[in-house]
Structures are given as structure tokens and as C-alpha cells.
Structure 1
Amino acid sequence: MMADRQSVCGIPSPRRAGQCMLALLISASADPATGMGATIEARVLSSDGPVANAVVHATRTDGESLPRPGNPEAVMDQRGREFAPHVLPVLAGTSVRFPNSDDTRHHVYSFSDAQTFELQLYHGETARPVTFGQPGVVTLGCNIHDWMLGYIYVLDTPAFARTGADGDARIKSLPPGEYEVSVWHPRLVDGASPQARDATIDESGTATLSFEIEVSPPRDRGQRGFGDRDEESLEEAFDR
């Protein structure tokens, strides 16, 4: 359970997108999950409650670097004619596999500047992996099922986590030090992320933060196209 929060920013106006809201608490208790290393815990909320699929990421601000895995890999599946997970955060340089667990073929592609690619009609494990080398947002679509929409958020830091349905994310086993913590979500109103937060954590310490963001309503599965508006073209949606 997250620590109790106290307001330090006040309550924002209803339409001020991406304003940081609540408390930043720093505690020195050991990480109960691992018993070692520092942890950043974040809760992401909107006016409607907890926000799932937000990416919480941290970078060092004290001049130190974070260790990076040698050959990072990740999976973006397709299940129930949806991308799973809906949002996949990865470190730049990660090789992502695109298995198709459905009983129909998919045709996955992206027009995004950070990565343009196409995986033509396939099912099972036949699609080649794609390496994402440039940080940025990669919007995914399926050329057969118009409603399918997913995101790969490519980061230049290995310290990140995605929020669950409870709005909570935990970045574990971090070296002690000073960090800047940011939040991204694909439905941020006007694309504006909340103000980044600073956190200083000791060895085996935990930094607990809370953000409030403003997000647009999720797309209805029956809506064609990838944008917020029915008349928006695929190219316009990917350019946003």
C-alpha cells in the first residue's frame, strides 16, 4: 500500500493538463519486496481515479549513471484483437518480439518518427523482432483491425515502470542517489506531461511520489481509425 499523501501543490483547475498535484514523501525504510536497493514508488491519478498504463521513469541528476542491460528484449503480444500490453515501455536498443496469439492474422505497422516498420500478414511467432533504437513514442496499428492501437514508449533510461489498474508503479533495485522522476501517458490532454519531481534516496530507501494528470477518455473499440476523432486520418493520428 502506498504511503499517505499530503497536498503540496493544491488542487489544479479542471482543464490544466499535466500539473503535478500531490505529495512527495521520502522515507528510509527498506524495500520489502527485495530487501536491497532503493525504490521509487509512484501513484498516478486523474480526476476519475487511478490511471493505468502510465509510464513512470527516472533519470540520475547527480552525475552518476545507471547500469544498462546488455541485450534488452521485450514482447508486444496481440490477444483478443488488441495489443497486449496497451503501453510497453522499453529502453532504447531493446529488441521487441510481436507474437500473434489470436486465431486470425494481423498486419502490424507504425508511421512514427521514432520507428517506422511493417510486419505484414502473419500469425504465431513468425514475425521478425524489431529493434527500437531512438527514444520517443511509437504508435502501433493493425492494417486489418482498425480499432487496434498500442504504444511503445522508448526511453533513454533503464529505470522505468508502468502503472497497473491501481495507478501504482514501482521502480526497484536502484542505486542510491538523486533522481528526476517523470510521467507519460498516451492520452495526456494536449500531450503535456506533469512537472517532473526530484527525489533523493539512500541505500535501501524508498521515495514515494504522487502525480495527478488529465487524460482524455479512452477510444471506443467500435471507433474506426486511430485518432480522437472519427474523421482523423491514420497519418494525422500518427503525427500527433
Structure 2
Amino acid sequence: MTRYLIPRLNGALLGLLFSAGVVAAELQVQVVDGTGQPLENAVLTLTGPLGAPAAPLRAEMDQKLKQFAPSVLVVRTGTAVTFPNSDNIRHHVYSFSPAKRFELRLYQGTPSEPVVFDNPGVVVLGCNIHDWMVGYIYVTEDPWFAVSDAQGQVQMQQLPAGRYTASLWHPQAADMLPQAAGELQVGEPATRQRLTLELPTTARTPPAAPAPSAFGEAFKKATRDAAQ
């Protein structure tokens, strides 16, 4: 179900948790919009009784069929992200976002050096060659996180049982800021929850074709709302 989730607990850490009396639990969440429709590409982050275990902070944002893949990526602060180009044409990836400004000039294949996202916030990605290409990297300091799939489903496994504070974010949210989603009690058996993230009415009606100014509009929205 989950399109992206880090970190996972390794066997040694699981042994420590069990020996300390901490139960590893599972959380299943469906994220819906205000009309009750499943919401894809919603970011769910959690803070809870324990921090996440240390894990390699690495992720990947590909480019396929002249689109970023995934279109929404969530990473923890300090993560090194690589930007492979799986197309047979060159792309020029960049961001002007305050959380991370960078530029990967016209290239094919995979750049030798990843980009480290060291500040929390929303990073809007564009391609200097293909104006309709828009991607989002949501950088969080919360230890647990995932992105919903096409059915709005999120599944997190091996969570320490306990009470968590949840937040939700989506690139089409009115203010481009995370929204509080209440508290979740995670335990055994698997905990199932349904969370709602309100979106503007127009956000659920996609345009007939990619707008040439898609990146510009997304970037202006992100920087405007972040400054409020």
C-alpha cells in the first residue's frame, strides 16, 4: 500500500525493543478528502513515544516519461536524495524553494553526487526544459512518515505501540502547510484509522493538459504560503 516509508526497524533493534517490553505494532490509515474520496499523494507524519531508529538517510527522485517519479517524496531532515534520469532525453532539475535551493544542469543518467535536504519544509522541483514537470519533496523532522497510494492507503509497520500525534500534508492543500490530524493510539492488533484532509474544491479537478506555467504556479503558491 505505502508508496514510500522510512525508516524500517532492523532485526537487532527489534530485539532490543522486545526485550525492553516495547511492542512493535502496525498502523493502517486511509486518507480521504472532504467529500470522502481517497486522496493520493498525501503525506502522513507521526511523532510518538519513541524516536525512529537510526537508518541510512537516502532516497531517490526519478524522472520518467517527462515526469518526476514519485511526484511527491517525503524524507527526513538530512536525507541525501539522488535524481536519476530514466528518460532517453536530458533534464535540468532545479529548485528555488527556501528549504533547499539547488540546480542539476542538463544531464542524463544519474548525477554522481546526491542532494542533501537539511532543512524542513516543502521543496518544489521543476525542469528547466519541460515547464510542466512539477515534483515535491516534503522534508520533515518527524521520525515516522509515509505517502498515500492511489487508494489513499498508508501502511506503517513495526511502530512502537503507543500514542502518536499525526499531521497531514498535500501539495494541493490551501496553505501548503501541514495540518494537524489529531492523536492515534497504535497497538495490537493492527490499528485502522480514517483521516480527512480538506482540499479546495478546484484542487480535485485536474486540468485537461499540463499547463506550461505549472512549476511557476506551484512555486509561487509554496513560497507565498510559507511566508505567511
The TM-score, its normalising length taken from structure 1, stands at 0.75
Shift of 1:237: 4.5
1:143-182 map, 5 Å: 143-182=128-167
Distance 2:167 2:135 in 1: 21
Find 1:79's aligned residue among 64, 68, 74.
64
Q: What RMSD in Å do the two structures reach over aligned CA positions?
A: 2.4
CA contact (8 A) 2:97 2:219 kept: no
Deviations 1:151-180 (A, max 9, x none): 000111231111111011112211111101
Residue number in structure 2 paired with 1:68: 53
Q: Unmatched 5+ residue regions in structure 2?
A: 2-22
Q: Which has the higher helix share?
A: 2
1:223 counterpart = 2:207: no
Shift of 1:92: 0.8
CA contact (8 A) 1:111 1:238 kept: no
Distance 2:145 2:218 in 1: 29
Find 1:239's aligned residue among 214, 223, 227.
223
Aligned residue type for 1:236: K
Deviations 1:83-137 (A, max 9, x none): 0000001111111000000011100000111110000010111352101111110
| SS of the residue 1:71 aligns to | coil
Shift of 1:41: 1.8
Find 1:201's aligned residue among 179, 186, 204.
186
Distance 1:191 1:121 in 2: 29
1:39 counterpart = 2:23: no
The TM-score, its normalising length taken from structure 2, stands at 0.78
| SS of the residue 1:239 aligns to | helix
Aligned residue type for 1:178: R
- Percentage identity across aligned positions? 41
Distance 1:167 1:135 in 2: 24
CA contact (8 A) 2:32 2:194 kept: no
CA contact (8 A) 1:100 1:124 kept: yes
CA contact (8 A) 1:162 1:169 kept: yes
